[in-house]
Amino acid sequence: NAGVTQTPKFQVLKTGQSMTLQCAQDMNHEYMSWYRQDPGMGLRLIHYSVGAGITDQGEVPNGYNVSRSTTEDFPLRLLSAAPSQTSVYFCATKLRLAIADYEQYFGPGTRLTVT
């Protein structure tokens, strides 16, 4: 099992460019989510999904889009990159959101710089 994979590991974008961060999991987890991590702040939830075809906004959704057409994949799209989106992005999955005891598994992260 590969677990949770993210691509790319690093990316530099110019302001206004768009791109998609990929997240894939092979654990058949229902729940997938995207966080961003900024210095001095905790992980902040951008968007999440509780199953294929179902997505919802987290704490900081502006400037990002998501879709979930399959159980395995949950791409995060930056529509028009801004310097404020410079961050490290983590994808995280959980077998089922509604079960309190289940752990959340994180991908290795994508470091994005917007110039």
Partner 1 sequence: ILNVEQSPQSLHVQEGDSTNFTCSFPSSNFYALHWYRWETAKSPEALFVMTLNGDEKKKGRISATLNTKEGYSYLYIKGSQPEDSATYLCAFNFKRLGSARQLTFGSGTQLTVLP
Q: Does 102 bind partner 1 (CB under 8 A)?
A: yes
Q: Could you give the string, one character per residue 4-23, with x where binding to partner 1 holds by CB under 8 A and - elsewhere?
A: x-------------------
**Residue 95 found at the interface with partner 1 (CB under 8 A):** no
Which CB, 2 or 101, lies closer to partner 1? 101
Compute the least distance from the CB of residue 69 to partner 1, in Å: 19
Q: What is the 3-state secondary structure (H, E, C) of the chain?
A: CCCEEEECCEEEECCCCCEEEEEEECCCCCEEEEEEECCCCCCEEEEEEEECCEEEECCCCCCEEECCCCCCECCEEECCCCHHHCEEEEEEEECCCCCCCCCCEECCCEEEEEC
Identify the CA nearest to 7 among candidates 91, 93, 65, 84.
91
Selected range binding partner 1 among 10-18, 68-76, 77-85, 107-115, rule: CB under 8 A: 107-115
By beta-carbon proximity to partner 1, the closer residue of 61 and 82 is 61
Interface positions with partner 1 (CB under 8 A): 4, 31, 35, 40-45, 48, 50, 56, 58, 90, 97-98, 100-109
